[in-house]
Amino acid sequence: MELSFLQLIWFILIIVLWIGYVTLEGFGFGTGMLLKVLPKNDKERRLTLNTIGPHWDGNEVFLLTAGGATFAAFPEWYATMFSGMYMALVLVLVLLIIRISAIEWRGKVNSAKWRNVWDNLHSGSAWLVTFLWGVAFANLVQGMAIQVGHYKAGTFVPADPNGIDSALSSGAKHFLTDGFFSLLTPFTILGGVMLVALYLTHGALWLALKTRGDYRQRALDFAKKSSLVSTGITAVWALWGNFAYSVSPMLSLIPLALAAVLLIASALVTLKGNEKLAFFLHFGALAMAVVYIFSTFGANALKSSINEAYNLTLVQASATAPTHTVMLVAAVVFVPIVLGYTVWSYLKFSQRMSVDNIPDEHAGLDLKKIREFENAHV
């Protein structure tokens, strides 16, 4: 069956939501990874966190909305992916919770040890969750051990690849039949390394864009080196994925070429010291990279690495047309609101900062007086 107009619209909307998350939260994760790398003292670490302070929680909206849209528009896609990648996604969730806690709780107690613990947890979770997101996206490109069938007495019984339609009509479902470690292959591990490298560059460019003085120069110098490394790793991974795993290599080559041009342009502009243009070129490259990833599996929601007959197509994964219609009405109303306040927040907090803007006093309660309910400087 061919994709309907509404199914295509919702597939595109889900891609747009993932573009929002990858591009915006990308510099948030990159900033977290650099939290223990670039700053020389606590003031600079506070400066680093202040650059993302007004934005990180708003950026998470795109992840929640992308997951919710997938659940409502393509429930079979959501069910197969989230059940099959359950342990990996729980780990991602735990790391995101740790990161959020580290951002929120760092300044609650006036103690250098307290702040250092949360900074280490923040940075470590940013490194790990970025790697895991890269592995997850690479699995979408490569395909996973997905089969159609059913479980009988705890044992999976696969359907005949030549009779998938009749098996599905008889109640068979798509399952990811291998465990957590089946998600780790040379290609997917390289995907994790690639996203780490890209986010390090994205974060460094963001810090150079948002700060002044010596710190801005250090961030820019880091970006000059990391941009060359990340561009090289991305080229290897993307070409490997396009010609080894893409359903339609010539179609997916278009967004891949656009991403490559933007990445190379960003690296060249970074070397010339123009962090503003470099950041927006890198932003565009990440957006095109997301389009490339989704273009590699064509009209499929999930690809099977076992047999293409087991692919979960968008049509098979789709909700009903009335559901798509009702959701589209809600999207027309609320998506512009989300985009509007996102743009407003970045314009409102667009000024550069420096350590001179960071007060000498530390916020938080005095650790020795907490039990006495005596507030330190807040």
Neighbouring residues of 165: CB distance < 8 A, sequence distance ≥ 6 = none
Neighbouring residues of 23: CB distance < 8 A, sequence distance ≥ 6 = 283, 286, 287, 290
User: CA-based angle 287:288:294, to the nearest 5?
Assistant: 100
From the list 287, 252, 341, 340, the residue with the least C-alpha distance to 19 is 287
Evaluate whether residue 320 is within a structural domain: yes
Evaluate whether residue 357 is within a structural domain: no
**Among the ranges given (7-16, 219-228, 356-365), the one the predictor scored with the smallest mean pLDDT:** 356-365
Q: Quote the mean pLDDT of the chain.
A: 91
Mean pLDDT of the 283-300 span: 95
Return d(Cα 111, Cα 119) in angstroms, integer.
12
- Most confident residue range from 127-131, 294-298, 335-339, 352-356: 127-131
pLDDT tens-digit profile of 127-177? 999 999 999 999 999 999 999 998 888 888 889 898 998 888 888 899 888
Residue 376 scores a pLDDT above 50: no
Evaluate whether residue 276 is within a structural domain: yes
Helices (H), ranges, the chain: 5-33, 42-52, 56-73, 75-84, 86-105, 112-142, 164-169, 186-210, 213-245, 249-271, 275-295, 314-317, 321-348
pLDDT tens-digit profile of 39-53? 999 999 999 999 998
pLDDT tens-digit profile of 44-96? 999 999 999 888 888 888 998 999 999 999 999 999 988 888 888 899 999 99
Evaluate whether residue 337 is within a structural domain: yes
| Structural domain of 333 | 5-150+164-347
Evaluate whether residue 356 is within a structural domain: no
85 vs 5 pLDDT, higher one = 5
Angle, helix 275-295 to helix 249-271, in steps of 10 degrees: 170
Neighbouring residues of 131: CB distance < 8 A, sequence distance ≥ 6 = 192, 193, 195, 196
Evaluate whether residue 359 is within a structural domain: no
Evaluate whether residue 376 is within a structural domain: no
Evaluate whether residue 259 is within a structural domain: yes
Return d(Cα 349, Cα 352) in angstroms, integer.
9
Domains identified in the chain, total number: 1
